Amino acid sequence: MLKQSLQHKLLQKLSPQQIQLMKLLQVPTIELEQRIKEEMESNPALDEGVDKEEEEEREWEEDNETSEAQEEFDFSDYLDDDTPSYKLSARNKGADDDEKAVPFISGSTFRDRLEQQLSLRANTDRQEMLAKTIIGNLDDDGYLRRDIENICDDLAFSQNIHTTVEELNDALSIVQNLDPAGVGGRSLQECLLLQLKRKDDHYPSVRLAQEIIENFFDSFTKKHYDRILKRLEISDEDLKIAIGEITKLNPKPGNSGQDSSKIIDHIVPDFIVTTEDNELKLTLNSRNAPELHVSNQYKEMMKGYAAAKKTNKKQKEAMMFVKQKIDSAKWFIDAIKQRQQTLLLTMNAIMDFQEEYFLTGDETKINPMILKDIAEIVNLDISTISRVANSKYVQTPYGTFLLKSFFSESLSTESGEEVSTRQVKRILQDSIANEDKKKPLTDEKLAKLLKDKGYQIARRTVAKYREQLNIPVARLRKQL
């Protein structure tokens, strides 16, 4: 049974302008430039550069308020228009259409260079074809991660080419003899062995390195050097020289041909902090503060429509379009300005909170600071502070850092003083950097070392901090 009823609901919704601001707050400097470019392409009413006719715009707005056209056509009406959004937009693609950009590359790829070598190595066309199939199955590191049996099945089902595992293994041997050495390995162990076999085995260190990788690979990777010394009956010096040969090898031979096309990420700081006469100065990167204004051409168009005494349906539709574009441009400009204000407000609060660090550069001077601390200072929501901190960089006299790195939990010392966990991590880093590499410090010894310095930290907490710093356990830090 259908029934109609009238209900009152209290809902909290974000306006399109608020959503736009939240999205702009989130993006870093480089993405902001791209976002502005996209907005200018989609909205012809938005221009970049200094607006030389700002006073004329004010005069036009004042005149427009009392114009006859305004009386006949209320431009604010469309802001609350009930027209569904789908009637004001065009979509020529279905929801399931997958739009993909096709990248253009220059030069030859890693696999192209391997295939170019095949013509000199393969004896028959069939052998060359099978070798190319194997090259196509290599990953970016140059390894063959797929089983030969599966490749054999793929050829039979997809290309109706019947072959055997033995025939594919022969083709794999051809690929493994191509340059760079180590390509086509099915594991790290095989990859290293392929490279060692290319070396001159007249040298005892090369022969010893081959034996270690072939017969004691597990002990080598886990740095159980005592087992290797005992089994091979060699001296520490011999083992050290052999390990030196192994460490010269390339564990990812496929990447050796990709240096020319490697993407290098350049960090563009959003803030610049400098010190003058023991005082901190904060500036916003100029790329974060572009000069944007409403197109003068669109202003003139609106002047023309406003001056017209009579307007027909088409002219009103044109006015609607122009007004929408101008308002959209104004919203975007306001959002950019609010973004700048929010960034400066947040960074000023962080700079005041961590003033001692920014003046000295001493990481042990960093105070414990969480998102809530800054949110309360600037009277903004924690989610807003999080958006600012997660993707913004600050350039200081001591380096360029992610803003998020200045936030840390607090930790109490024996004296009751609260210190930042980052300070503890710094002590851990320094202690591990200065340890005896023949007898690295275990987590228990590191915990005792911190306890002697007044930091009451459990061993499992030390292990957690060590993992966050990407430092391996003591056994894997051992060196001869």
Please say whether the beta carbons of 419 and 413 come within 8 A. Answer: yes
Nearest to 302 by CA among 65, 83, 41: 65
Please say whether the beta carbons of 432 and 471 come within 8 A. Answer: yes
Please say whether the beta carbons of 116 and 178 come within 8 A. Answer: no
Instruction: Burial-class residue 346 by CB neighbours within 10 Å (0-12, 13-18, 19+).
Output: buried
Supply the pLDDT for residue 102: 46
Tokens 């096709």 locate to: 102
Domain ranges for the chain, please list them.
110-259, 410-477
pLDDT tens for each residue of 26-42: 677 777 777 788 888 88
pLDDT at residue 60 is higher than 60: no
Structure tokens at 88: 């004001």
CA 448 to chain centre: 37
Q: 47-51, 76-80, 469-473 — which is least confidently predicted? A: 76-80
pLDDT tens for each residue of 351-360: 998 888 888 8
Structure tokens at 26: 């989130």
Residue 98 pLDDT grade (very low, low, confident, very high; cuts 50, 70, 90): very low
Cα-flanking dihedrals φ and ψ of residue 400, to 5°? -105, 125
Residue 90 pLDDT grade (very low, low, confident, very high; cuts 50, 70, 90): very low
Q: Per-residue DSSP letters for 54-111?
A: HHHHHHHHHHHHT-HHHHHS-GGGGGG----GGGG----S-TT----------S--HH
Question: Is it true that the peptide bond before 180 is cis, omega within 30 degrees of 0?
Answer: yes
Q: 94-98, 325-329, 452-456 — which is least confidently predicted? A: 94-98
Alpha helical stretches, state H, 122-203 = 125-136, 148-158, 165-176, 188-197
Supply the pLDDT for residue 415: 61
Supply the pLDDT for residue 78: 43
β strands within 171-312, DSSP E? 271-276, 279-284, 292-294
The DSSP element (H or E) to which 420 belongs, if any, is strand 418-420
**What is the architecture, at CATH level 2, of domain 410-477?**
Orthogonal Bundle (1.10)
Instruction: Burial-class residue 167 by CB neighbours within 10 Å (0-12, 13-18, 19+).
Output: middle
Supply the pLDDT for residue 471: 87
State pTM to two decimals.
0.53
Residue count of the chain, please give it.
480
pLDDT at residue 196 is higher than 80: yes
Q: How far apart are CA 406 and CA 385, in angstroms?
A: 13
Please say whether the beta carbons of 244 and 370 come within 8 A. Answer: no
pLDDT tens for each residue of 241-264: 888 888 888 888 887 655 444 444
